[in-house]
Amino acid sequence: MPVDRPVALDEYPIHQVPLSMKYVATGDRNAYDRCIFHVFDHAGRALLILGLGVYPNTGVIDAYATLRLGDELLAVRASDALGDDRTDLSVGPLRIKVDEPLKRLTVQCDPDPADPDGLSFDITWTAAFPAVWEPHHVQRRGDRLMLEGRRFVQAGTVAGRLRAKGDEVRLAPGEWTGTRDRSWGVRPLPGEEGGRAAAEHTPEGFHWLWVPAVFEDRFVMVVVQEDADGHRTLNDALLVHPESAGRPDVQLGWPHADISYRSGSRHPERAVIHLSDPARKPLELGVEVLTSSPLAVGAGYPPATDWQHGSWQGRGWTDRRVYDLSDPAAHPMAGYGVTDHAARFTLDGRIGHGIFEHGSFGRHDPSGFTGYDSVAP
């Protein structure tokens, strides 16, 4: 039997419960702690998504990076056994370094020795705005707690290099933007058995928007989750100023989105998110989609069929591959997962850039979708 000893983090006065920092306070197998970064150019040529997750009750740590270039998606994934050093944010060729908490981080992917022309990067992410909380996120099926998460989001600038398909790109200031979020709590992992709650409380529909929009002098964050009938279970709209401005965050009311979908699909091409300031002045956040990356392809989000976060792949597992996104029929499950769209935004004459993360499956009465096979006319 292995000896149970303190870990390095136990030296610090950061404990929340009378347990070693090696353990989480819940025995739920679905406990997780992870992050995601979006790095994208303002012309819509490239969208890099990367993240790292820890699953302490299944003993897994994994990470991924995907890069959308034209009709191709380059993916790197890695998984391993979780060790005791939780400050070591590295798996295989992928790593994240917290240079200055909430201020500056470095994300890296080493080149593949067998394919030095494949995906690699070394990027410094620097905060342009303070990190802000999203609402406490709770989701149940019947009486069963399926998801409980805490998340903060932040917008910043990026610098460094990105190499793919033999070409190296320097991330020029003013031409690239980076957003990120950190979340932790409980959410379903592969192998989760929903039991009676899943059998008797299957959702008829799900509609999701997660929208960090970055402008030179402000950051707008919108998050919306709705059931099939439009009942809203998560809602927030916030305007954030740079920390140097010394101005408080501003709530922007109850957001409503008018989304223009590509005919025969649920792929958004444009949108207007209707907001209002505290004086009830209407504000319109315009959205123009530039390029898209489905999280169920390469990035490990459900319902990915080849790899999902938190699944045990054995020690030292690394996988690199290229997906062809030119034919949507080649990835039939992608439309039943969330897709991240790099987008150009407008607000009160300002132009900004960010992510329009969208997922809409099953019935959604406000959009006119009647079931899982329903699409825009």
Q: Assess whether pLDDT exceeds 80 at residue 195.
A: no
Radius of gyration of the chain (CA): 20
Q: Does the pLDDT value for residue 198 go beyond 90?
A: no
Backbone angles phi, psi at 337, to 5 degrees: -125, 175
Q: pLDDT tens for residues 325-362? A: 998 888 999 999 999 999 999 999 999 999 999 999 99
> Which two tokens mark 148?
């409980």
- Rounded to 5°, the CA angle 69-72-77 comes to 95
Beta strand 176-186 with 144-164 is antiparallel
Residue 192 is predicted with a pLDDT of: 78
Lowest-pLDDT range of 3-7, 125-129, 302-306: 3-7
Give the per-residue pLDDT at 1: 66
Mean pLDDT of 172-194: 92
Q: What is the pLDDT of residue 6?
A: 94
Residue with tokens 């070409």: 167
DSSP state letters, 137-180:
EEEEETTEEEEEEEEEEEEEEEEEEEEETTEEEE--TTTEEEEE
Could you report the per-residue pLDDT of 236-254, keeping only the tens digit for each?
Answer: 999 999 999 999 999 999 9
CA gap 306, 296 in Å, rounded: 9
**Average pLDDT for 136-150:** 90
Name the token pair of 27.
Answer: 């025995």
Length of the chain counted residue by residue: 377
Name the average pLDDT for the chain. 95
Beta-bridge mates of residue 282: 276
Residue 167 pLDDT greater than 90, yes or no: yes
| 5: in domain | no
pLDDT of residue 299: 98
Question: Letter for the amino acid at 208?
Answer: W
Q: What is the pTM of this model?
A: 0.96
CATH number of the domain that residue 299 is part of:
2.40.370.10
Express as a percent the part of the chain with pLDDT over 70. Answer: 100
Is the pLDDT at 200 greater than 90? The verdict is no
Looking at this protein, which amino acid is placed at residue 82? L
Q: What is the pLDDT of residues 257-314, one digit of tens each?
A: 999 999 999 999 999 999 999 999 999 999 999 999 999 999 999 999 999 999 999 9
What is the span of the domain harbouring residue 261?
A: 31-189+196-367
Distance CA 252, CA 255 (A): 8
Three-class SS of residue 292?
strand
* Residue 1 resides in a domain: no
Tell me if 351 is assigned to some domain.
Answer: yes
Find the DSSP H helices in the chain: 195-200
377 assigned to some structural domain: no
Residue 115 in any domain: the answer is yes
Residue 290 lies in a domain: yes
Q: How far is the C-alpha of 332 from the C-alpha of 113, rounded, in Å?
A: 32
DSSP per position, 11-39: GSS--SSSS-TTS-S---TTEEEEEEEEE
Give residue 230's region: left, alpha or beta (phi > 0; psi -120 to 50).
left
Please report whether residue 9 resides in a domain.
no
> Structural domain tally of the chain?
1
Question: CA 77 to CA 92: how far, in whole Å?
Answer: 8
Does the structure show a pLDDT above 70 at 19? yes
Q: What is the pLDDT of residue 143?
A: 86
Strand, helix or coil for residue 10: helix
The number of beta carbons lying within 10 Å of the beta carbon of residue 287 is 26
Encode pLDDT of 63-78 as tens digits. 999 999 999 999 999 9
Q: How far is Cα 335 from Cα 368, in angstroms, rounded to an integer?
A: 17
Please check whether residue 113 lies inside any domain of the structure. yes
